[in-house]
Amino acid sequence: MDILIYGVINSATLALMALGFTLVYGVSRLPNFAHGALYVLAGYICWLLLNRLGLPYILAIALALGLVAVVGGAMYQLILVRIRGMSISEIIASYAIGLAILEGLRWGGLKGGTFTLPAFLEGSVDIAGVSVDFQRILVVVLGALLVGLLYFFVNHTRLGLALKGMAQDERAALTLGIDSDRMAVASMALGSLSAAVAALILLPLGSIVVEAGYHVLIMAVAVCIVGGLGSWTGAILAAFVIGFAQILTTAYLGAHFQVVVAILAIILTLILRPSGLFGKQKELEERV
Amino acid sequence: MAGEPILSVRDVNKTFGGVKALTEVSFNLMPGNILGVIGPNGSGKTTLVNVITGFVKADSGQVLYKGKDLVGTAPHKIADRGLTRTFQVMRPYYSLPAYKNLIVPLFSPRARRTGGWRGGGRMGSRDTVAVDILEEIGFERESYVPYKTASSLPTGYLKRLELARCLALRPEIIICDEVFSGLSMSEMASMVPLMEKLQMEGITLIMVEHRLRELFRLANRVMVLNFGAKIAEGVPVEVMADKQVKEAYFGSEEVFSYV
Amino acid sequence: MAKAHESRRKERLDRGVKVRSDGVYAVASWREMAFLLGPRLLLIAGLMVMPLVLWPAPYWQKVLTIICIYSLLAIGFDFLAHYVGLVSLGGALYIGVGAYISALLNTEMGLPLWATIPLATVLGGMVCTVLLWPCLPLRGVYFAIVSLMFPLLAARLIEAFDIFGGTDGIMGLDGFPNKWSEMYVLIICLLLALFALRRLVNEDVGLVFRGVKDNDQSVKASGIDITRYKALGVFIASSLGCLGGACLAHIYMWAGISQFALDFSIIPIAATVVGGGGTLAGPVIGCLILVPISELLRDFGTLRIAVYALILMAFIVFKSEGLMSYGARKYNQFEHWVEI
């Protein structure tokens, strides 16, 4: 039973981590390797606002979300737009930015377990004999909510539809008067925003550490690749596949294997089915 | 016609995500012949080329080359057995000079086995052999054209380069995917004798074309595809007269007066 | 006043050197040979003399050996990325595999240093090629992502299964007999590798590699098995990395998980981007610049990673041709006065 419950929670966690990555890739074909850095940055900014400036928690959260979205958008507008379309350069450059943010933060003093955010709700509840604290339930609820919101946003708002149009065919979108650069900035900001949301929901469960940045990046990449890059439903399903696989290996083999599972999932998926478990793209090798 | 067909395609099917690209396509190709394949855009011509040369795997059916089924064989192995192709979208090695483009096929196992081109010798300098082939195919030898990088060559030369790449393998069959498209009238005019020369040298050709005038002059037989299915096959005159072909492909009679 | 100018004009130094086609040289005089050989000799002589110049600073001599190790890795990366078309972001895998193999051969089987290093080079190259073999059909981004994951996976596996000494690593390797042999072995290996690779990419085999990079479909249609050539490319590049790793293990007399660390994946890439991709010598120059910077910043802890990440980003975005290509262009554009 606890495998089921923790499996669901872990899967929701992974889905949250991966949403921003898949959003950005889906719209602007940009593999945002600074994703993990944005995640940590959001947590750190929130912590600063909360503890150094003494702002109320809600306000700190709102400000942190906004700031990270701006950082993400600016990152695209100022730097990444210049190497648009050269995917390898995009990976290297965004990874370099991520590294610079993370290692810069570490140098700036983000070390050890002293940086924690308070939980939204204290306490815990028994579900079928397993004690689960409220924050973890909140992870599942908010995760589902965020997916729902993004789904609504993409399918029922002007901006969202423009993003979707660009994801499907950039040139056609251009001829319909959609500014692809601005849309890419918007998607990047949105992706950063969801990284920040994920951070603020998940970080109260632990402490803010630099390593989380790398961890989140690996997990996001794993989920997106297993699910098929740029595919929404694929990413969510893949989050469940990997989530349960991790919980099962933790239960039967040991916690060391969590990351091993994720990395193996990436490697195996890419070798066996490069378009991902649920990807609709033609097999990559066949593209003539 | 007497003799065994060198290539025999039997009931080949291929679907891409629900779209039927090829339905039950069959034909035979006799050694030394030129088979023309025509059809409107999207009728599955290029898919047929891809299936025969192994770049796309057929869902069902057989591609018999000298009696052996090629379906499921890797493209490089098919090429190694002497069945080569050109690409509709030219695929030269853009960063290399034109003659260096030919080093790659000349370095292939097949070319090394068969000993290069025209007594170029097993170990004869591949550069010389490459320039020889280019001259054969219509590059001016004394000029600097063969030494220019492929990215700076005009379409006409790139089409020839594609053909040259095939010739370097000393193939038995060349499948030409639209060698005439994108060429100017004069470039085309010089291409026709080239194809005739290849046929006289004993190379079997499949030509996928839009240019009917040149094709009908060259081809021994013509096959017409429409929506992935074969609707007619025969000598050019028969095909031209076929009612179904006129309706499906040409729409009206008037186009034919042009041919 | 005009008289002097009428009989002279400015001419680019490489005018006599370069004939109409690129890459075909017609060398006619000593001066032109000097023009071509100068930069090459400068690099060779510079690297050979460097250990002697650094005599009073043993610490920087150590840095020089590290530079050579990174350079081996970087020219491997450059070769793979710009001549075979495989962008391998996980250079740390090669270093780690090389280090562990030489460590195992040395401590478990008692082989001496001069045997473990060559063996680790070849065996390591084979191991890496076999590991990466299934990924070879992947293109671009996908190959880059998988290769980035391999060193992480290797480190986690060693940790999780507690093999090869687990988190402690393998200790007690033989060191080099003295620091001079350490430096000169590496410098000579580096120079040999550099010039051998430059030679290779212009040979017929090298052209096939470049063909695979430019256009793999066309190579397939030419009857060549591209996977085999890609594997050969990976073998060459990973062997160079393993050579570096083996030397590294013997220098520190230790092999451990940290040899799968991020540094070994990032610095070679940064060096290649800074030095100029596709030039092979560029990455060496990039390492000569970046590694000392990184050493100078060692006191600031992880700030050095942030700094070279920023340098990397700046170069890739604003100056993607790199120093070497830039320098070569300027060098060829030098003008001098000639009598007419």
Where along chain C do its domains lie? 14-53, 60-265
Nearest to A220 by CA among A5, A3, A26: A26
Structure tokens at C280: 């092979």
- Min mean pLDDT across A76-85, A114-123, C14-23, C210-219 is at C14-23
Residue A280 C-alpha, separation from nearest chain B C-alpha, in angstroms: 9
Q: Could you tell me if A154 and A26 are in contact, meaning their C-beta atoms sit under 8 angstroms apart?
A: no
Cβ atoms of B244 and B232 within 8 Å: the answer is: yes
The model's confidence at residue A121, banded by pLDDT at 50, 70 and 90, is: low
Query: Among A25-29, A110-114, C190-194, which stretch is predicted with the lowest mean pLDDT?
Result: A110-114
DSSP structural state of residue B256: H
Residue A266 and residue C320: Cβ atoms within 8 Å? no
Write down the pLDDT at residue C206: 86
Q: What angle do CA B155, B157, B162 make, to 5 degrees?
A: 95
Name every chain B residue with its beta carbon within 8 A of the beta carbon of A285. none
pLDDT in tens, C149-160: 888 888 888 877
How much is the pLDDT for A112?
64
Q: Which chains touch C (3 or more CB pairs under 8 A)?
A: A, B
CA–CA–CA angle C159, C161, C164 (5° rounding): 75
Q: Would you write out chain B's pLDDT as a tens digit for each of its 259 residues?
A: 457 888 888 888 888 877 788 888 888 888 888 888 888 777 888 888 888 888 888 888 888 888 888 888 888 888 888 888 888 877 788 888 888 888 888 888 887 777 644 444 444 577 777 877 888 877 776 677 777 788 888 888 888 888 888 888 888 889 988 888 777 788 788 888 888 888 888 889 898 887 777 788 888 888 888 888 888 888 888 887 777 777 766 655 444 444 4
B&C contacts, CB < 8 Å: 96
Average pLDDT, integer, range C204-220? 85
Domains, in order of start, for chain A: 2-286 (1.10.3470)
- Evaluate whether C222 touches B79 at the Cβ level (below 8 Å): yes
Given a contact cutoff of 8 angstroms between Cβ atoms, the answer to whether B103 and B127 are in contact is: yes
Instruction: Determine the residue among C262, C265, C305 to mutate to test chain A binding: the one whose Cβ has the most chain A Cβ atoms within 10 Å.
Output: C305
Average pLDDT over chain A reads: 79
d(CA C96, CA C242): 7
The DSSP bridge partners found for residue B224 are B38, B232
CA dihedral C78, C83, C86, C87 (to 10 degrees): 30
Choose among C160, C273, C310: nearest Cβ to A260: C160
CA B72-B78-B81 angle, to 5 degrees, is: 140
The CA distance from A183 to A173, in Å, is 10
Question: Residue A156 burial by CB count (10 A; 0-12/13-18/19+): exposed, middle or buried?
Answer: exposed
Q: Sign (positive/negative) of CA torsion B86, B92, B93, B99?
A: positive
CA distance B213 to B219: 10
Maximum separation of any 2 CA atoms in chain A, in Å: 59
Given a contact as 3+ CB pairs under 8 Å, which chains touch B? A, C
Q: How far apart are CA C271 and CA C274, in angstroms?
A: 5
> Cβ of A285 under 8 Å from any chain B Cβ?
no
Nearest to C309 among A100, A254, A257 (CB): A100
- A155-159, A282-286, B27-31, C336-340: which is most confident: B27-31
CA distances for C79 relative to B92, C24, C69, C246, angstroms: 21, 22, 16, 20
- What residue ranges do the domains of chain B occupy? 7-82+172-258, 94-160
Arithmetic mean of pLDDT, A117-137: 72
Residues in A touching B17 (Cβ below 8 Å): 282
Contact by Cβ (8 Å): C269, C70:
no
Q: Collect all residues of chain B within an 8 Å Cβ-Cβ radius of residue A286.
A: 55-56
Residues of chain A with C-beta less than 8 angstroms from the C-beta of C140: 87-88
Q: Longest Cα pair distance anywhere in chain C, in angstroms?
A: 83
Residue A271 burial (CB count, 10 A):
16
Higher pLDDT, A131 or B256: A131
Give the 3-state secondary structure of residue B12: strand
For B175, name the nearest residue in chain C, comparing CA atoms only.
Answer: C221
Contact B185, B6 (CB under 8 A): no
The answer to whether the Cβ–Cβ distance between A274 and C316 falls below 8 Å is no
Taking alpha carbons only, the member of A25, A8, A7 closest to residue A279 is A25
Which residues in chain B have their CB less than 8 angstroms from residue A282's CB? 16-17
**Which neighbouring-strand residues pair with B16?**
B19
Does the structure show a pLDDT above 90 at C142? no
* Position with higher pLDDT, A168 vs C40: C40
Q: How far apart are CA B121 and CA B136, in angstroms?
A: 17
- Are B55 and A288 in contact (CB < 8 Å)? yes
Q: Which of A273, A174, A177 is nearest to A229 (CA)?
A: A273
Query: What are the contacts of A165-174 at 24+ separation with CB within 8 A?
Result: A166/A27, A166/A28, A167/A26, A167/A27, A167/A28, A167/A230
Q: What is the DSSP code (8-state) at residue C259? A: G
The pLDDT of residue A113: 62
User: Two tokens at B24?
Assistant: 């039950």
| Interface contact C303-A256, CB threshold 8 A | no
How many angstroms away from the CA of A286 is the closest CA of chain B?
7
Q: What is the DSSP letter of B176?
A: E
pLDDT score recorded for residue C240: 93
Nearest chain C residue (CA) to B145:
C21
pLDDT digits (tens, 9 = 90+) for A89-101: 888 888 888 888 8
Query: What per-residue confidence (pLDDT) applies to C27?
Result: 58
Contact A288 C217 (CB under 8 A): yes
Please write the tens of the pLDDT for every residue from C45-84: 888 888 888 888 888 888 888 899 999 999 999 999 888 8
CB contact under 8 A, C149 and A274: no
What is the residue-wise DSSP string for C155-218? HHHHHHHT-TTGGG-EE-PPPPSSHHHHHHHHHHHHHHHHHHHHHHHHSHHHHHHHHHHH-HHH
**B223 has which bridge partners?**
B37, B233
pLDDT, position C79 = 92
Q: Is the pLDDT of residue C115 over 90?
A: no
By a Cβ cutoff of 8 Å, what residues of chain C touch chain B? Answer: 20-24, 204-205, 207-208, 210-211, 214-215, 217-226
Burial class (CB in 10 A: 0-12, 13-18, 19+), C328: middle
Distance (Å) of CA A113 to CA A116, A210, A217, B92, C150: 7, 10, 20, 57, 29
| Interface contact A89-C318, CB threshold 8 A | no
Q: How far is B55 from chain C (nearest CA, A)?
A: 9
- Which tokens is C35 given? 């023009």
Question: Which of B41, B75, B39 lies closest to B56 in space, CA to CA?
Answer: B75
User: Closest approach of chain B CAs to the CA of C224, in angstroms?
Assistant: 5
- In A, which residues are within 8 Å of C132 by CB distance? none
Task: Please answer yes or no on whether A91 and C89 come within 8 Å at the CB atom.
Answer: yes
Q: Does A288 touch chain B (CB under 8 A)?
A: yes
Q: What is the share, in percent, of chain C residues with pLDDT greater than 90?
A: 18
What average pLDDT score do residues A157-181 get? 77
- pLDDT score of C16: 57
DSSP 3-state assignment of C88?
Answer: coil
**What does the longest C-alpha to C-alpha distance in chain B come to?**
57
Q: How far apart are CA C57 and CA C52, in angstroms?
A: 10
CB contact under 8 A, C211 and B75: no
Whether the CB-CB separation of A103 and C306 falls below 8 Å is answered with: yes
Distance CA B29, CA A244 (A): 56
Rounded to whole angstroms, how far apart are CA atoms A244 and A9? 9
Whether A129 shows a pLDDT value over 90: the answer reads no
CATH (residue range B7-82+172-258): 3.40.50.300
Higher per-residue pLDDT: A28 or C115: C115
